[in-house]
Structure 1
C-alpha cells in the first residue's frame, strides 16, 4: 500500500500569515520524504482565508528543489481556468528538471468546462510522449481528481490515474473507482487507483478527538459562510456549539477518520479495500504544524515502517 499526502497548505491560528503557511507546507514535503511517503501534492484554492496555495505548480517546483526522492505534484490544477498547452509547458518544464518525479494532478471542482476531456487527453498525450514514466505510474504522470464519480471513467480510457476524494464525498466512491478500473481494463491500460482520505490521529483517543473537534468547527463555520483559519484547540475548547452547528458537524464527521494510530490504520485499510485502491493519499488539518507532522509520522509508523 503506497502512502501519500495531499497538502492544502492551511492557514491556521498557529500559521496565520501566508508566508508562515507556505513555509510550513514546504517543510512538510521534506518531512514526508524523510518519513517514507511516496508522493506529496499541493492543492489549488483562490481567494481563500483557509488555504494559502493558489498556484500548486509553484509549490511543487519549490518542494522539488528541497527534496530528492519523493514524487511531488499538483492536487489539483483547476483545469477549467487554463489552456491545456500552458499546463503542459509548465509541468513539462518541471519534468525536464526532475525526470519521473513530477505528478500532474488536474480537476475541475464545481467549474464547468466543455473542453475538459479534450484538455486531459492533450496532457496525457503530450506529457506521455515527451516524458517517460516508470511502469508503476500513469502515462505522463497525469492524474484526474474527482469526487462525484462522473469523471472517473475518463482517465481510465486515457491511461491516466484516478484519485477519488473520499473526504469531499464519502458516499458512492466504490462505484466511481470501479468505473475507472473497468474503463482502464477495456482500453488496455493499467489502472492506478488512489483514495484521498482526511484523517486525524494522536497518541491518545482523547487528543485525536479534540483535534477532530477543531477541524470540524472550521468545516462547519465554512459551511455557514464563515471561512477562516483552522482554529486552535484552545479556541475550540471554549466554543459553544449551536444545535444546527452540531448537526452539521455530525454530518461532516462521516468523511473523517479519527482515532489512535492503530484504529485509523484499520479504517484506512478497510476503505482502501472497499474502493479497490492501491494507494492512500492522506490529508489532515490542524492548527499547530507540530500536530499535523505528528499525525503523518504516527500513520507512517503504522503503514510504512
Structure 2
C-alpha cells in the first residue's frame, strides 16, 4: 500500500501564518526523504487555521525543492475557476517538472452546476496531453470527495478518487464502491485513495495528547471559533464547555492515533474496507517537530 501526505498548511501556536508555507515546504522535503509516494497541498480561503490559499503555488515551490516525490494539489476548488485555467496552470508545471505533477480538484461546500462537466473537460485535456504513468490515473487527475456524490463523476471521467475519511469517517465504503462501479461501467481503471487524519508518537500518552489538541481545534471550529491549531500545553490547561465535550465525542472518531503499530493496523484495515491502494495522511500538530516525528514513525512502520 502506498503512503502519501496531504498538507493543509496549518497555522498553529508554534507556526504563525507567515511561517506556515515555509513549514509546509520543509515537510515536502522531509516526506521525500522518508519515502512517501506523494504530497498534496490543500486550498482554503479566509481561514485562521490554514494558510494554503494557492495550492498551485505551493506545488510549484515544492517541486523546485524535491526531485522524486509526486507533488500536487489536494485540491484546487474547481467551482472557483474555469477548467481551462486549471489545465493551463497545472499543464505548465508538468511541462517544467514532468510526470510527477498531480492535479487534485474538489468543491468543498461550494455549489457548481457545471462541476461534473469541468471534471470531464479536465480529464479529456490531461488525457490528451500526458502519457500513461503507472500506477497513476490517466492525466494524473484526481477528484476529492467526502459525501459520495462526486465519486461516480470521477469514475465516469476516468479520474482517480480520493475519499476524505477525516471529513466523514462513516459511509466511505459506499462512496468508493460507487466510484469503482462507475469507472468499470465506462471502461476505466479505478484508482482509490483514502485521506485520513492521523497522529502517532512513540508513547500512547504522547499520541493521545496530540490527538486531543486536534480534537479541541476541530470542536472549537465547529462551534464558531476558527483559530490556530493549539499546542498540547494549551489543551492540557483548557476548560472544555459541555457543548465542546459533547462535540468532541463525535470528532474524535475521525482521528486515527496511537503508537505506530496501532496506527498501522487501523490504516491497513481502513484501506482494505474501502478498496484503497493508497493512504493519504493528514497530521495537524502545533509543533512542526511533532508533525515530522509522526510522519517519520509512520513511514518507518510501513517499511518494516
Q: Could you say which TM-score interval applies, normalised by the shorter chain?
A: over 0.9
1:171 has 2:170 as partner: yes
Counterpart of 2:116 in structure 1 is: 117
State the aligned residue count: 304
Equivalence map 1:1-305=2 (5 Å): 1-16=1-16, 18-305=17-304
For 2:169 and 2:236, the matched residues in 1 are separated by 27
State the Cα RMSD in Å.
0.8
Q: For each residue in 1:223-260, what CA deviation from the matched residue of structure 2 results, as whole angstroms up to 9, or x when unmatched?
A: 11111000111111111111211111111011111111
Give the secondary-structure state (helix, strand or coil) at the position aligned to 1:236. helix
Unaligned runs of 5+ in 1: none
For 1:83 and 1:194, the matched residues in 2 are separated by 25
* Alpha-carbon contact 1:72-1:101 (below 8 Å) kept: yes
Q: What displacement does 1:19 show?
A: 2.6
* Alpha-carbon contact 1:99-1:131 (below 8 Å) kept: no
Give the secondary-structure state (helix, strand or coil) at the position aligned to 1:164. strand
Q: What displacement does 1:128 show?
A: 1.4
Q: What displacement does 1:74 show?
A: 0.3
Unaligned runs of 5+ in 2: none
* Alpha-carbon contact 1:265-1:299 (below 8 Å) kept: yes
After TM superposition, the score normalised by the length of structure 2 is 0.99
Give the secondary-structure state (helix, strand or coil) at the position aligned to 2:98. coil
* Alpha-carbon contact 1:39-1:70 (below 8 Å) kept: yes
Q: For each residue in 1:174-194, what CA deviation from the matched residue of structure 2 results, as whole angstroms up to 9, or x when unmatched?
A: 000001111111111111000
For 2:143 and 2:22, the matched residues in 1 are separated by 27
For 1:217 and 1:107, the matched residues in 2 are separated by 26
For 1:243 and 1:209, the matched residues in 2 are separated by 20
* Alpha-carbon contact 1:36-1:304 (below 8 Å) kept: no
* Alpha-carbon contact 1:3-1:304 (below 8 Å) kept: no
Q: For each residue in 1:54-95, what CA deviation from the matched residue of structure 2 results, as whole angstroms up to 9, or x when unmatched?
A: 000000000000000000000010000000110000000001
Q: What displacement does 1:292 show?
A: 0.3
For 1:188 and 1:226, the matched residues in 2 are separated by 46
Q: What displacement does 1:7 show?
A: 0.2
After TM superposition, the score normalised by the length of structure 1 is 0.98
**Moved segments of 4+, more than 6 Å:** none
For 1:144 and 1:94, the matched residues in 2 are separated by 19
For 1:24 and 1:123, the matched residues in 2 are separated by 31
Q: For each residue in 1:209-233, what CA deviation from the matched residue of structure 2 results, as whole angstroms up to 9, or x when unmatched?
A: 0011111111111011111000111
Give the secondary-structure state (helix, strand or coil) at the position aligned to 2:43. coil
